[in-house]
Amino acid sequence: MTRPDPSISDLVADRRPGHSLPAGLYTRADVFDADMEIFFRNHWIAVGLECDVPEPGDAYVLDIGKSSLILLRDDEGEIRVLHNVCRHRGARVLNAGNSIVSKLVCPYHQWTYELSGELMHAPHMGQGFDKSCRSLKPVKFVSVGGLVYACLSDNPPEDIDRLIETMEPRLAPYDIRNAKVAYQCDVIENGNWKLTIENNRECYHCLGNHPELCLSFIDLDFGYDPAALSQADRERADAHEARFAEVTMAWEAAGYPSAAVLPRVEGDTNFRTQRLLMNGAGESQSPDTRAACKKLLGTMTDKMLGDVHLWGHNTWNHFMADHAVIATVIPLGPDRTLVRTKWLVHKDAVEGVDYDVQHLTSVWVATTDQDAELVERSHAGVSDPAYEPGPYSEFAETELESFAGWYVRQMRVNGY
Ligand code: 3BY
Ligand code: FES
Ligand code: FE
């Protein structure tokens, strides 16, 4: 005799603090649908960059669940985000990906929209047809220092202001608005989006899995049990902590906001930021830990300003003096997740002169592939009937507890 599946609310109620989630929250199709509604429709999500569309007429289409967004730059140079749904009979106007357009022309019956979304031409619709109420629907969006966040709901969470206030000054010297996408790559991970995010919220796995990234990452920044350290490592940890505190103060004094801003479990918009030191030469997440682009971003002149990390519930970002790495996470199914990574450099940086794409991207290309393998491995394991939620390390996995606590709270607030 088979027992009926627990409800989503039962799964949420079953989640033990300090532990990974009950299996069904990672694997079930009904939970995936609920996640898409709550976390990818009712919340602000990272969708793209102003510099995805540098010139008027540039368009970038991103599909999110059943929705599709057109991010574009209009004739006045302003960013617009529109629903990719024709106001005639609903056809998709543009295909996913990048395109250059002078007008938005629906391929079905050629209804033609201005880049503002306004309908300008609808053949054979008769004299009395009112075009003015048939514009492409706008999507609510904000630009956070050039990072475009959108919300598909009509009532977006108000606390996006905290993200804007925190990140605008942090990102200003990098001028991400006017950067250039030097390279982009998509990896489809065979796992649930929450496993993708959990994997990214800890570096417990880094030493064992990311040899390239570990050249620039400082293991001590990601949580350790002091009692487990040898005398020598404890001295190294103390020395690092003292140096890090000193450098953070110096960065702040020089006008570069650096201190940690932590997520609030009771907040709707989940993010965390901190400027961290890098290892080795300390300049960049490159194969030799030195700047991988000769022209620095924005108004940056000092290569030793560390790495501004920004983590959100569908994104992680690294802003270094020479380049930035921006990852966006879009769930495709309960066990499939798109991770789209973009590498940004100064808009005037010239490929082959100021940077070499392979050298610029190799660390995060390798890391992203390694993480895809880990997420697939972890999705397979949580799908096994033998899986039961396991304990997070209170030292190395505090951000997972923070994410899981926020996830569960949002599920409850939304009726589960
Ligand atoms: O995704 C990762 O491998 C991790 C976790 C923390 C930083 N990041 C590289
Ligand atoms: Fe777009 Fe008909 S559906 S023009
Ligand atoms: Fe990783």
Q: Are residues 53 and 189 in the same domain?
A: no
Ligand 1: atom nearest CA of 213 is 9
For residue 122, give the CATH number of its domain. 2.102.10.10
**Residues lining ligand 2, judged by CB closer than 6 Å?**
86, 88-91, 106, 108-109, 111
Whole-model pTM: value is 0.97
**Ligand 3 centroid to 362 CA: how many Å?**
14
Instruction: Judge whether 287 lies within some domain.
Output: yes
Whole-number Å distance, alpha carbon 383 to ligand 2 midpoint, is 42
| C-alpha span between 159 and 140 (Å, rounded) | 14
The closest of 170, 147, 172 to 160, measured between CA atoms, is 147
The string of pLDDT tens digits covering residues 76-120 is: 999 999 999 999 999 999 999 999 999 999 999 999 999 999 999
Contact 363 CB / ligand 1 (< 6 Å): no
Q: How far apart are CA 302 and CA 405, in angstroms?
A: 38
Residues 221 and 134 in one domain: no
Query: What pLDDT sits at residue 326?
Result: 98
Our count of domains for the chain comes to 2
Q: Which residues lie near ion ligand 3 (Cβ < 5 Å)?
A: 371
- pLDDT of 331 reads 98
Q: Which ligand is nearest to the CA of 403?
A: 1
Check if the interface score ipTM surpasses 0.85: no
- Residues 135 and 184 placed together within one structural domain of the fold: no
List the domain range (segments joined by +) for residue 244.
Answer: 169-413
End-of-domain residue from the set 143, 161, 179? 143
Same domain, 124 and 193: no
CATH number at residue 255: 3.90.380.10
> Distance (Å, rounded) from C-alpha 190 to C-alpha 26?
12
> Which one of 213, 218, 339 would you pick to mutate in the ligand 1 pocket, going by the greatest count of ligand atoms within 8 A of its CB?
213
Both 214 and 341 in one domain: the answer is yes
In a domain, 237, yes or no: yes
Domain for residue 27, yes or no?
no
User: Cα(263) to centroid of ligand 1, in Å?
Assistant: 17
Task: Judge whether 212 lies within some domain.
Answer: yes
Q: Assess whether 242 and 346 both reside in one domain.
A: yes
Question: Is 366 among the domain residues?
Answer: yes
* Residue that finishes a domain, picked among 125, 143, 161: 143
Q: What residues have CB less than 8 Å from 301, skipping those under 6 apart?
A: none
The C-alpha atoms of residue 242 and residue 335 are separated, in whole angstroms, by 43
Q: Which token pair is 382? A: 């949580």
- Residue having the nearest C-alpha atom to atom 3 of ligand 2: 89
The amino acid that residue 26 corresponds to is: Y
Contact assessment for residue 271 and residue 305, using Cβ atoms and an 8 Å cutoff: no
Blockwise average pLDDT, block size 10, the chain, 416 residues: 87 98 98 98 98 98 98 98 98 98 98 98 96 98 98 96 98 98 98 98 96 94 92 94 97 98 92 97 98 98 98 98 98 98 98 98 98 98 98 97 97 97
Which residue among 143, 177, 205 closes a domain?
143
- Same domain for 201 and 54? no
44 within 8 A of 125, measured Cβ to Cβ = no
* pLDDT confidence of residue 394: 96
Q: Give the pLDDT confidence score for residue 1 in this predicted structure.
A: 61
C-alpha to C-alpha distances, 215 to 210, 218, 244, 322, nearest whole angstrom = 9, 8, 17, 17
Asked if the structure places residue 405 within a domain, the reply is yes
Does 385 reside within a domain? yes
pLDDT digits (tens, 9 = 90+) for 54-75: 999 999 999 999 999 999 999 9
Element (H, E) at 365: helix 357-382
Q: Does residue 188 form part of some domain?
A: yes
Question: Which residue, by CA, sits nearest to atom 4 of ligand 1?
Answer: 200
Q: Of all atoms in ligand 1, which is nearest to the CA of residue 309?
A: 7
Closest CA to 163 of 312, 341, 316: 312
* Residues 82 and 231 placed together within one structural domain of the fold: no
Q: What is the pLDDT of residue 355?
A: 98
Q: Looking at the structure, tell me whether residues 311 and 362 fall in a common domain.
A: yes
Do 134 and 201 lie in one domain? The reply is no
The residue count of the chain comes to: 416
Same-domain status, 138 and 176 = no
In terms of domains, do 117 and 50 share one? yes
The response to whether residue 371 sits with its C-beta less than 6 Å from ligand 1 reads: yes
* Other beta carbons less than 10 A from residue 77's beta carbon: 9
